A and B are shown apart, each in its own frame.
Chain A
Amino acid sequence: MALDGSKPQFKLLGTRPNRPDGLDKVTGRARYGADLNAPGQLHGAILRSPHAHARIVSIDASKALALKGVKAVVTRADFATGLTGDDWNMQENCMAGEKALYDGHAVAAVAATTPLLAKDAAKLIEVEYEILPHVTDVDEAMKEGAPVIRDGAADYSVPDGLHPNVVRYYENGKGDLEAGFAEADLIVERSFKTEAAHQGYIEPHACLAQLGTDGQGELWCCTQGHWFVRQMCTAALGIETSQLKVTPSEIGGGFGGKTTVFIDPVALALSRKAGGTPVKLVMSRSEVLRATGPTASASMDIKMGMTKDGRITAASGVFRMQGGAFPGAPVDVTTDLAFANYRIENVHHVGYDVMTNRPKQAAYRAPGAPMAAFACESVVDEMATKLGIDPLDIRLKNGVVEGDRSTYGPKVKKVGLIETLEAAKAHPNYAAPLGPNQGRGVASGYWMNWGGDTSASVAIGEDGAVAVTVGTPDIGGSRASMALMAAETFGIPYENVRVHIADTASLGINEPTHGSRATFASGLAVIQSAKECIQKMCVRAAEKWDIDPDAVTWEDGFAKPSGPNAGDFEPLSIAEIAGEMSDTGGPIAGHFEANPGKFGGSFGTHVVDVEVDPETGRTTILRYLVVQDAGKAIHPSYVEGQFQGGAVQGIGWALNEEYVYGPDGRLQNPIFLDYRVPVASDLPMIDTVIVEVPNPGHPYGVRGVGETGITPPLPAIANAVAAATGVRFTELPLSPPKVLAGIKAAKHA
């Protein structure tokens, strides 16, 4: 469905009405995962491994089961057998089989009449472990002699001779690297590391599950994608997808981490074992940090060559990605997007997906891209500094435009990188004066976006009001954007549209709200469904007027004769047509089921000013500017919110957030006091500029905006700290002790 050229001027798109779910959320009426309850429900608790790597010799639950009020205990024996591939990995992660693979890995679970009783009972389950050697660092895990997490986990892509912990290998490139580097006047080569960072959603995972002895069940949970939840849960439990209905609650943040399951199959297994009694299971923050997926950590080597006038001649990168105790680190995106900002003839990337004794990584906002951006954009910044070229100018010189050959292969379609660079350069922040110990950093980033399986329906009510039903949970204001797109298409007030998130029994399958796809794909589905309704309403009007349907046009919420030759009839409003629909052919609705492509990627450019305290190493963000291409901002406030949210999460990842493991392989900081996410008092107002280079593949020009915003902050902040201190830091986070040590080392050098 291509860009609708007939809609150059919008009446509603680009306005900022209140979000339809706003009152519910500010009054506490909205129901999140832990708000759901059922009469007679049980409460679940999970026993987790205290060891990073251990063989499970035996599990004895007799003492737990002897407690009055304990109704069920499940172990891996209560799940389906014979799973393979991603299904096996998911099941094994939800409940350990032969081995506990990381600190926090679930080994058993209890259902009891109260939450406290369930926790006490879990402590009474006796597990005999045979402790095994462990490894939590990606570089250590690849070395000869490193403990093997799971032999035979590697796929076809891994060359002979690599350690069994390397489970996927990716190599891509083009041109002649040697010739490219020979042409360069300046070559910079550096190694970088980033630590794992958690999505940090405020709402922990929570669900209410019921699965009867008849094999039929229902699940209410907080998730980004309930059809994914249904597929995973039914696979883990060995039941058909049609037997489980999944309803999403409101969601208090996901950022990719709620596109998979951790506790839902366990709650369903407990309910099944308890004879079908509903079981509520809510994770603590500590469980979230120990046992759900952070993003991957990375170890990277970058080499880039440049001519004196700032043209990039060659680039190569090696990316070692640690994804926990299972395959799946985003090595492909990391490698493919590493140099994607630039037009480079000679480029080569190699990526390794490496297993360690850590929790299974999960998607986190542009998964894989921020790490690569940190490494590559740091090198570009260093080269610009050494050559005395403005960092925005060097990006303007090398930045990709439509028709260029991308570094990962295909030709670049219409994109807005150059527009974001020009807007950043024109912004007052870029000219703001800097004081002592202050520095400015610049970086750009990219996310390809996604379409994917999408279903939606639009139904006309008896009074002409419109009910929109989509399958993508509303994380960032998508109800508002869906309502705006529907209202724009119909030509009716925004308030006359109400948007609902359907359960899995009410629409065809939907991919989650992930890949920055909801506003693009569900929006396109809503527009298409609305157009189907309009077409049907035009037929109803034509029949009433006894003219050809082709002689009826739709304008501003009315069916009208298309011209003088069509006849002289009073326009019929949507309310008038709807009021008569039972007598003119029955219900009027439209629907859409497809997996749309042409999603259109989004580039962003960030400019940040920092001040670094030379006495403590503490970095303060002084100013922060996000410029990003939204294609068309349907509801600008929520687009700006995505920009600001991505920047803030990136600031946390760059400055403080990290997983700290002790020598025993246990996570040392599984609470928010020690795992330091930015809070409001750490931050200035994040300035935003929305660039609009319409996506030709969407009727209103939409590009997804959710993920790009976390790609530039890591390098932009590192570049600003380098400018403020004169020290190039190559490992994140830039926590005060690390920065102070770097400043001191530079002084003594």
Chain B
Amino acid sequence: MPEIHLWSGLRSLADGKEVVEVEGKTVRQVLDDLVAKHPALAPAIAAGVSVAVDGEILPSNKAEPVDEDSEIFLLNKLRGG
């Protein structure tokens, strides 16, 4: 199952977990499953996050595919100048 790694500040909203195993084949599906498993994360996800899948930071496209063994990191929403 894909694993989502949470930044430290989110872990208190996910029962102290650093890594959460999730189900899904797209970024949208794994984020939905993450919130379903840990509803306290909903405001953080709704506020906007950037997602890195297997080292690749994705833009906001939640349809991007996720593999069974993907390593997913949540990052604060990126902004540039």
* A residues lining the B interface (CB < 8 Å): 155-157, 169-173, 199, 255-257, 259, 330, 332-333, 336, 348, 363-367, 408-413, 447-453, 514-517, 594-599, 697, 706-707
**Contacting pair A450 B80 (CB below 8 A):** yes
A598 to B71, CA, bound (A): 16
A207 to B30, CA, bound (A): 44
B79's partner among A173, A333, A348, A410 (CB-CB below 8 A) is: A333
A516 to B81, CA, bound (A): 7
In the complex, chain B residues whose CB is within 8 Å of the CB of A333: 76, 78-79
**Contacting pair A516 B80 (CB below 8 A):** yes
B19 to chain A, nearest CB (A): 11
A410 to B52, CA, bound (A): 7
A157's partner among B44, B57, B73, B79 (CB-CB below 8 A) is: B44
A686 to chain B, nearest CB (A): 20
Which 3 pairs across A and B sit closest by C-beta, in order of nearness? A515-B80, A256-B81, A332-B76
In the complex, chain B residues whose CB is within 8 Å of the CB of A366: 80-81
Q: Tell me the B29-65 residues at the A interface (CB within 8 Å).
A: 43-44, 47, 52, 54-61, 64
A172 to B44, CA, bound (A): 14
In the complex, chain A residues whose CB is within 8 Å of the CB of B78: 332-333, 448, 450, 515
In the complex, chain A residues whose CB is within 8 Å of the CB of B73: 408-410
**Contacting pair A171 B9 (CB below 8 A):** yes
A363's partner among B61, B64, B75, B80 (CB-CB below 8 A) is: B80
B77 at the interface (CB under 8 A from A): yes
A411 to B54, CA, bound (A): 7
B25 at the interface (CB under 8 A from A): no
A363 to B52, CA, bound (A): 22
Tell me the nearest residue of chain B to A512, going by C-beta.
Answer: B80
Tell me the nearest residue of chain A to B57, going by C-beta.
Answer: A448
**Contacting pair A173 B8 (CB below 8 A):** yes
In the complex, chain A residues whose CB is within 8 Å of the CB of B56: 410, 413, 597-598, 697
A437 to chain B, nearest CB (A): 35
In the complex, chain B residues whose CB is within 8 Å of the CB of A516: 80
**Contacting pair A410 B55 (CB below 8 A):** yes
**Contacting pair A156 B80 (CB below 8 A):** no
**Contacting pair B75 A515 (CB below 8 A):** no
11 new A-B contacts, CB < 8 A, other than A409-B75, A515-B79, are A170-B76, A171-B9, A255-B81, A256-B80, A332-B78, A367-B79, A410-B75, A413-B55, A515-B78, A515-B80, A707-B80
Given A155-B43, A256-B80, A515-B81, the answer on whether A171 and B8 have CB atoms closer than 8 Å is yes
A455 to chain B, nearest CB (A): 14
Tell me the nearest residue of chain B to A331, going by C-beta.
Answer: B76
Given A156-B44, A172-B8, the answer on whether A410 and B57 have CB atoms closer than 8 Å is yes
In the complex, chain B residues whose CB is within 8 Å of the CB of A169: 9
A449 to B78, CA, bound (A): 9
B18 to chain A, nearest CB (A): 8
User: How many B residues are at the interface, by size bracket?
Assistant: 20 to 34
In the complex, chain B residues whose CB is within 8 Å of the CB of A412: 55
A294 to chain B, nearest CB (A): 12
In the complex, chain B residues whose CB is within 8 Å of the CB of A596: 59
Tell me the nearest residue of chain A to B42, going by C-beta.
Answer: A156
A361 to B26, CA, bound (A): 35
A599 to B52, CA, bound (A): 12
**Contacting pair A367 B81 (CB below 8 A):** yes
**Contacting pair A409 B81 (CB below 8 A):** no
B42 to chain A, nearest CB (A): 9
B71's partner among A364, A411, A697 (CB-CB below 8 A) is: A411
In the complex, chain A residues whose CB is within 8 Å of the CB of B81: 199, 255-257, 259, 363-367, 514-515, 706-707
**Contacting pair A332 B54 (CB below 8 A):** no
In the complex, chain A residues whose CB is within 8 Å of the CB of B47: 155-156
B28 at the interface (CB under 8 A from A): no
**Contacting pair A514 B80 (CB below 8 A):** yes
A170 to B6, CA, bound (A): 12
In the complex, chain A residues whose CB is within 8 Å of the CB of B55: 410-413
In the complex, chain A residues whose CB is within 8 Å of the CB of B54: 410-411
In the complex, chain B residues whose CB is within 8 Å of the CB of A517: 80
In the complex, chain B residues whose CB is within 8 Å of the CB of A364: 81
A259 to B79, CA, bound (A): 10
Interface centre among B5, B44, B47, B55, by most chain A C-beta atoms within 10 angstroms, is: B55
In the complex, chain A residues whose CB is within 8 Å of the CB of B80: 256, 363, 366-367, 447, 449-450, 514-517, 707
B78 to chain A, nearest CB (A): 6
A336 to B77, CA, bound (A): 11
A170 to B8, CA, bound (A): 8
**Contacting pair B76 A597 (CB below 8 A):** no
In the complex, chain B residues whose CB is within 8 Å of the CB of A367: 79-81
A408 to B76, CA, bound (A): 10
In the complex, chain B residues whose CB is within 8 Å of the CB of A255: 81
Some 8 contacts from A to B, beta carbons below 8 A apart, are A156-B43, A255-B81, A256-B81, A333-B79, A409-B7, A413-B56, A514-B79, A517-B80
B74 to chain A, nearest CB (A): 8
A316 to chain B, nearest CB (A): 12
A613 to B79, CA, bound (A): 39
Tell me the nearest residue of chain B to A335, going by C-beta.
Answer: B76
Tell me the nearest residue of chain A to B41, going by C-beta.
Answer: A156
A257 to B80, CA, bound (A): 10
**Contacting pair B7 A170 (CB below 8 A):** yes
**Contacting pair A595 B60 (CB below 8 A):** yes
A641 to chain B, nearest CB (A): 16
A367 to B79, CA, bound (A): 8
B41 to chain A, nearest CB (A): 9
In the complex, chain A residues whose CB is within 8 Å of the CB of B60: 452-453, 595
Tell me the nearest residue of chain A to B18, going by C-beta.
Answer: A174
**Contacting pair B79 A330 (CB below 8 A):** yes
A516 to B78, CA, bound (A): 12
A174 to chain B, nearest CB (A): 8
Interface centre among A157, A173, A255, by most chain B C-beta atoms within 10 angstroms, is: A157
In the complex, chain A residues whose CB is within 8 Å of the CB of B9: 157, 169-172
**Contacting pair A597 B59 (CB below 8 A):** yes
**Contacting pair A336 B75 (CB below 8 A):** yes
A704 to B54, CA, bound (A): 21
B61 to chain A, nearest CB (A): 5
In the complex, chain B residues whose CB is within 8 Å of the CB of A451: 59
B5 to chain A, nearest CB (A): 6
A456 to chain B, nearest CB (A): 16
Tell me the nearest residue of chain B to A408, going by C-beta.
Answer: B75
**Contacting pair B79 A363 (CB below 8 A):** yes
In the complex, chain B residues whose CB is within 8 Å of the CB of A413: 55-56
A517 to chain B, nearest CB (A): 7
Tell me the nearest residue of chain B to A256, going by C-beta.
Answer: B81
In the complex, chain B residues whose CB is within 8 Å of the CB of A409: 5, 7, 52, 73, 75
